[in-house]
Structure 1
Amino acid sequence: MRLSLLFGKTQREIPGEAETISHQLLLRAGMINQLTAGVYSFMPLAWRSAKKIMDIIRDEMDAAGGQEITMPVLQPIELWEKSGRGAAFGANLFKLIDRKDRVLALGPTHEEVVTDLAAHYIQSYRDLPQRLYQIQTKLRDEPRPRGGLVRVREFIMKDMYTFDADDAGLEVSYQKMVQAYKNIYRRCGLKAMAIEADSGAIGGKASHEFMVLAESGEDEIIFCPGCGYAANVEKAKFDKGSSIEQIPLPMTDVETPGKESIEDVAKFLNLAPSQMLKCVFYIADKEFIIAVIRGDLEINEVKLKNLLKATDLRLATAEEVSEQGIIAGSASPVGQKAKVIADDSIVSSINYVGGANIAGRHTNNVVLGRDFNAYKTSDIASAGVGAKCAKCGGTLESTRGIEVGHVFKLGTFLAETFGALYTDPEGNQKPCVMGCYGIGVGRLLAAAIEQNHDDKGIIWPMPIAPYPIHICGLSLDNEKVKEAADKIYADLYTAGIQSLYDDRIESPGVKFNDADLLGMPLRITASPRTLDKGGIELKKRSEKTFTLVPIDNIVGEVKRMIDEQMKAAA
């Protein structure tokens, strides 16, 4: 491709709306263009990269036994009502009404559609396992699109769905997909890690996210450098410590004038925050909830929402708290009519200090099970930096990452709902055991840039670079230089190597700046100076030094360097 003919222009200024490195560089490189919030056009260079990513994904899905299909974007809303997941997706689910007043959804994912499809064609255990995938546009009405291609409203995703006879079969399919995903990221030249994750609106028994580590990532990852445990902060577990059993003592009130926070009350009473109860108030699907946790811990709202199976969870307003007769700053779970959810850090054999529900007063010796009861007791605490690892006792740390893939063990709930049943060898009908597996193509492309760039621009990994090589012809008004640059471009093409050829009449500074910004893995420079020295310059984008190569040797040397970088990612 001659750069003079390329559709799209580079720009020097950093776009004001771009927060992340990948967003800035993709816009500056003229690789994407925003049509409206969270909706982008892929320009030629970015689309070439996206297609290479999709080719790698197809290779690995096919190798793992996948069969590619395509399913409708338009989905009857009845499918979502039948599964009950329309409420879980909430306002993120795009809807439209056709000319016959039928409500349709624009598919954010395809579990409902593929399960309905499977119900038509899977009849016997002999039909299993099945692994079906597609690479297709998805639409979600994200409330806050951000980060360029990281969080958008319209995006390309590979989604696979597996159907097995039992949990053991699902485990085989799941592990095949986990390995396939690892292969995909490695072949794309990315470093990714699998972490335990929350299943969110997709649902299911268990899930893992694949994260590319990046400072600009929107996800916080809690990990243990000792044993390798890693989980999304929404899912992370940690050792909360054990408590020595105590003899329950009678409740007694104590004056705490002007002390409302856990820290202030604990200091005033000469206690550790872990000896106190913290109450946090929520509205879960319009129901008032009191979440109670040990004073030194924080509530994880995702864990709480999942425990309650709530569609909507938010903090209660001051007015809503007051309507319950609760005094903020001295709140108590004792004597409340509202539903109480307790974190499992609260032990029934411990005397805690809690609010007295009277301003300026707290209560000693509050005991779970004697003085108040919990509707449910579970882990609803957030793991933080410095907490103890539940697996090895090490110290947990935190980093940030961009989610580039998610795999779920769905189980049987959708198969039971949509009648995706099979007959086993004994003639009994059973539901298929399902898994689903997604990779966002645009996210992966953006993550590659977040992980591979410098202060000058993108440094594409060779396997997904739009072109493997960028030819810079300097002083092209010099016939000798133009002839040499044209020959290199033609010889590479004849050898099966497509390149990006900067054939513009521009200064060396402009050409080098654009080459660094666009980030092709290799760069050739032909100029009067290099030709006078008997060759042309060949350098890696990631390195400062170059090699002078005779023109007759350039094709072979380029092939060698491409093969070298491709093998490194294979």
Structure 2
Amino acid sequence: MRLSRYIRPTLKEEPADAVVLSHRLMTRAALIRKESAGMYVYLPLGWRVLRKIIGIVREEMDRAGAHEFLMPEMTSADLWKESGRWETMGPEMFRIRDRNGLEYALAPTHEEAFTAAVRNLISSYRDLPLNAYQINTKFRDEIRPRFGVIRSKEFIMKDAYSFDMDEAGLDVSYQGMRAAYRRIFERCGLETIPVEADTGAMGGSDSEEFMVASEVGEETLLLCDSCGYRANREKAEYRRPGREKGDAPKPLVETATPDVRTIDDLTAFFGIGAERFLKSIVYLADGKPVMAVVTGDREINEQKLGHAAGATVLELAPDSVVEEVTGAPVGFAGPVTGREIRIIYDATIRDMLNGITGANKKDLHFEGVNPGRDFEIREEADITCAEDGDACPRCGKQMYMKKGIEVGHIFKLGYKYTKSMNVTVLNEHGEEVVPIMGCYGIGVNRTMAAVVEQHNDEKGIVWPVPVAPFDVHLVGLGKSDEEIRGAEGIYDELRRGGLDVIYDDRKASPGIKFADADLIGIPVRVTIGKNYFRTGEAEVKLRSGGDSVGLPIEGLVDGIRNLLLASKAGAESPGFTESGG
């Protein structure tokens, strides 16, 4: 491919709206252009990279025995209603009507569509196990698209769904996908951290996310290097300190606290730490009030709380509901209510001694609050977020936090969709049984951005060989007819040798050509300048670093192949931080 004929609008300046490095570099290197908020055009260079990643994903899925499908991007509302998710998916799902008034969704995911397709294809245990996948476009109406292609409204995803006879079979499928994901990300040159995760709106049990450590990541991870525990903050547990030691329980005392509502206000008013307070927040769980009680120094984990409440939809209760169920305005609620309201306590509350909490009256708090005496704990769960420095739930050593980008997610769906959508097969005894499902997703666009986040320097992108848009960036510096013919000959020789080459034959200065080569980041740069005509050697340099070397023309193709193989071997062994699970 000749650069003079290629769409190559590289930019010197960084785009004003690009916050993260991958967005800046992908725009400057002419990989993408923003079409509108959350929507991107992939220019030829970017599309070549995406195709390389898609090829790796497809090869490893096929190697794992999965079958490739192509599902409709627009799915019938009837499928979503059958599973019960039409109402619960929320505003992130694009919903449309056709001219006949029929409702559809632009699919954000395809559990329903695959389940419906597979139930018409299987009837017996002989048809299982089955793993069906696709690589297709998804749509989500993100309230705040950001970070370039990391969080966009339209994106390419590989989603796969396994169907097995029982949990033992599901575990085999799950582990097979886990191994395939490891190979995929290693081949893409990514160092990933698999972490325990919440299954979210998809439902299910065991869940693992593949994270790429990045300061711009939207996910927060809790990591323990002592035992290998790894978890997304939505899922992460921590070891509680145990029952407090100190004075005997004090009497319950009502104290005036005029307009003292927040934890910060309370700590200043009473002159003690936030951990001494019982923070009580009222939510609506599927429309019904539920109070969550945690210590004042802790943040409520709404994912954990939703699971504990058994709620499909969890949202903060409006002020009017808070006052109705507690008898007091926001800021003065507490578990000593004397009212009928469901209360879920964090596991730490049981060990509280002489705490302070809202008295369910305006401008009043209780001091000397003790569980068991002043209120009964009927429901208890882990409903708080783990924090940096918390004790690991497994070994008790200190954990630390790190930001990450989620590039893959695998989890055991269980029977959520096969039961709701009436999928059955006959077992070996002729009895009807419901298959059990697993779900496995990879964000292709995110993977591309994550590669850029991990592989760059001050000059631009440094593509790992397996996903690079080209193998070789040939730079011709000559101006005379003889020099141009020499570069053309090298271009033809490299292509005959089976190398994928982009040839910078532009009438531009060496500085511009080298700057673009560094920005675009193709693994090997071959320069044909005046030295070539004096020595008969081409100047060859790896984008990943090191000095330039001179290679004779007769050994140029083999020399470049050896460099690519060595670089590829390094790219495919970036490291894989194993989960403690």
Q: Secondary structure at the match of 1:87?
A: coil
1:463-497 per-position Cα deviation (integer Å, ceiling 9, x unaligned): 0000011111113x222321221111111111111
The answer to whether the aligner puts 1:385 opposite 2:400 as a matched pair is: no
Structure 1 residue 178 displacement after superposition: 0.6
- List alignment gaps of at least 5 residues for structure 1: none
Aligned twin of 2:114: 114
Deviation at 1:167, TM superposition (A): 0.6
Structure 2 Cα separation of the partners of residues 197 and 429 of structure 1:
32
In the TM superposition, what is the alpha-carbon distance from 1:78 to its structure 2 partner?
1.1
Judged with a 3 Å threshold, the aligned counterparts in structure 2 of structure 1 residues 263 and 103 are, in CA distance, closer, same or farther, namely closer
- Give the distance between the partners of 2:93 and 2:262, measured in 1 at CA: 40
Task: Look up the match of 1:6.
Answer: 6
Q: Distance in 1 between matches of 2:377 and 2:88?
A: 25
Q: Is the 8 A contact 1:87 1:311 kept in 2?
A: no
Q: Deviations over 1:59-102 (max 9, x none)?
A: 11111111111112221101111111223321111121112211
User: 2:149 and 2:270 mapped to 1: Cα distance?
Assistant: 51
Q: 1:359 to 1:109 in 2, by over 3 A?
A: closer
Give distance in 2, aligned partners of 1:521 and 1:235: 39
- CA positional deviation for 1:303: 1.9
- Indicate the residue corresponding to 1:450 in structure 2: 453
- In the alignment, what sits opposite 1:305? 306
Matching of residue 296 in structure 1 with residue 270 in structure 2: no
Q: Which residue of structure 1 aligns with residue 577 of structure 2?
A: none
From 415, 423, 431, the counterpart of 1:420: 423
Q: Is the 8 A contact 1:339 1:374 kept in 2?
A: no
**Relative to structure 2, which stretch is displaced further, 543-552 or 258-267?**
258-267
Q: Distance in 1 between matches of 2:311 and 2:17?
A: 34
Matches of 1:132 and 1:43, distance apart in 2? 30
Partner of 2:214: 214
Give the aligned partner of residue 503 of structure 1.
Answer: 505
Q: Report how far residue 29 of structure 1 moved.
A: 1.3
Q: Residues of 1 paired with 2:183 and 2:52: CA distance?
A: 14
| 1:344 to partner: Cα distance | 1.4
Deviation per residue, 1:375-403 (Å, 9 max, x gap): 63211101111111111111111111111
Which residue number corresponds to residue 554 of structure 2? 552
Deviation at 1:254, TM superposition (A): 4.1
- Residue 319 of structure 1 and its aligned partner are, at CA, apart by 5.8
> Paired residue for 1:394, among 391, 394, 397?
397
Asked whether 1:173 is paired with 2:176, we answer no
- After superposition, residues 499-538 of structure 1 pair within 5 angstroms as 499-538=501-540
The residue number in structure 1 matching 2:130 is: 130
CA distance in 2, matches of 1:156, 1:29: 21
Aligned twin of 2:277: 276
Query: d(CA) in 2 for partners of 1:370 and 1:116?
Result: 54
SS in 1 for 2:429: coil
Question: CA separation in 1, counterparts of 2:513 and 2:565?
Answer: 26
| Residue in structure 2 matched with residue 155 of structure 1 by the alignment | 155
Q: Which residue of 2 aligns with 1:403?
A: 406
Pairing 1:55–2:58 present = no
1:135-183 alpha-carbon deviations (Å, 9 max, x no partner)? 1111111111111111111111111110011111111100110110000
Alpha-carbon distance, 1:448 to partner: 0.4
Cα gap change, 1:541/1:281 in structure 2, threshold over 3 Å: closer, same or farther?
A: same
Are the aligned partners of 1:167 and 1:433 in contact in 2 as well (CA < 8 Å)? Answer: yes
Residue pairs, 1:179-198, within 5 angstroms: 179-198=179-198
Match of 2:333 in 1: 331
User: How far did 1:274 drift?
Assistant: 3.1
Alpha-carbon offset, residue 327 of structure 1: 4.4
- Please give the residue correspondences for 1:5-154 in structure 2 after superposition, counting only pairs within 5 Å: 5-154=5-154
Alignment partners' CA distance in 2, 1:514 and 1:11: 9
Deviations 1:125-144 (A, max 9, x none): 12111111111111111111
Name the CA shift for 1:106/1:328 in 2 (closer, same or farther; >3 Å): closer
Distance 1:441 1:415 in 2: 27
Change beyond 3 A, Cα 1:349–1:545: closer
Q: Deviations over 1:221-267 (max 9, x none)?
A: 11112222111111111112211589765422345577655466457
Q: Which one of the candidate residues 437, 459, 468 is aligned to 2:440?
A: 437
Range that drifts further, 554-563 or 270-279: 270-279
> Which secondary structure does the structure 1 equivalent of 2:350 belong to?
coil
For 1:539, the equivalent position in structure 2 comes to 541
| Secondary structure class of the residue paired with 2:397 | coil
The amino acid that maps onto 2:394 is K
What is the distance in 2 between the residues matched to 1:113 and 1:329?
Answer: 46
Shift of 1:25: 1.0
- Of 356-365 and 537-546, more deviation after overlay is shown by 356-365
Deviations 1:31-74 (A, max 9, x none): 11222221222111111111111111111111111111111222
Q: Is the 8 A contact 1:291 1:341 kept in 2?
A: yes
Higher mean C-alpha displacement, 276-285 vs 102-111 = 276-285
Checking the alignment, whether the CA contact within 8 Å between 1:157 and 1:440 is kept in structure 2 is yes
Q: Take 1:100 and 1:268, find their aligned partners in 2: how far apart are those partners?
A: 63
Q: In the superposition, relative to structure 1, how do residues 349 and 551 fare at CA in structure 2: closer, same or farther (>3 Å)?
A: closer
Letter in 1 for 2:302: E
Quickly say closer, same or farther: Cα 1:159–1:328, change in 2 above 3 A.
closer
Question: Corresponding residue for 1:484?
Answer: 486
Q: What corresponds to 1:228 in structure 2?
A: 228
- Whether the 8 Å contact between 1:340 and 1:373 is mirrored in structure 2 is no
- Whole-angstrom CA distance in 1 between matches of 2:571 and 2:402: 24
- Given residue 523 of structure 2, which amino acid in structure 1 is its aligned partner? P
The alpha-carbon deviation at position 530 of structure 1 amounts to 4.5
Distance in structure 1 (CA, Å) of the matches to 2:329 and 2:445: 49
Aligned length: 569
Query: In percent, how many aligned pairs have the same letter?
Result: 42
Give the alignment partner of residue 563 of structure 1, picking from 540, 565, 580.
565
Across the aligned residues of Structure 1 and Structure 2, the Cα RMSD in angstroms comes to 2.3
State whether residues 248 and 349 of structure 1, in contact with CA within 8 Å, keep that contact through their aligned partners in structure 2. no
Distance 1:461 1:237 in 2: 36
Residue type at the aligned position of 1:168: A
Q: Which amino acid aligns with 1:306?
A: H
Tell me the distance in 2 between the aligned counterparts of 1:254 and 1:143: 43
Structure 2 alignment gaps of length 5 or more: 573-581
| TM-score of the superposed pair, with normalisation by structure 2 | 0.92
- Farther-moved stretch of structure 1 (499-508 vs 79-88): 79-88
Q: Which moved more, 1:314-323 or 1:52-61?
A: 314-323
Moved more, 229-238 or 309-318: 309-318
Mapped partners of 1:360, 1:421: distance in 2: 59
2:575 maps to: none
Structure 1 position 514, deviation (Å): 0.5
Code of the residue aligned with 2:387 in structure 1: it is G
Q: CA deviation at 1:337?
A: 4.3
For 2:160 and 2:426, how far apart are their aligned partners in 1? 23
Deviations 1:262-285 (A, max 9, x none): 466457656554333112333445
Show the counterpart of 2:254.
Answer: 253
Structure 2 CA distance, aligned partners of 1:94 and 1:127? 34
Partner Cα separation in structure 2 for residue 90 and residue 259 of structure 1: 35
C-alpha contact 1:537 1:548 (8 A) present in aligned 2: yes
2:29–2:519 contact (8 Å) kept in structure 1: yes
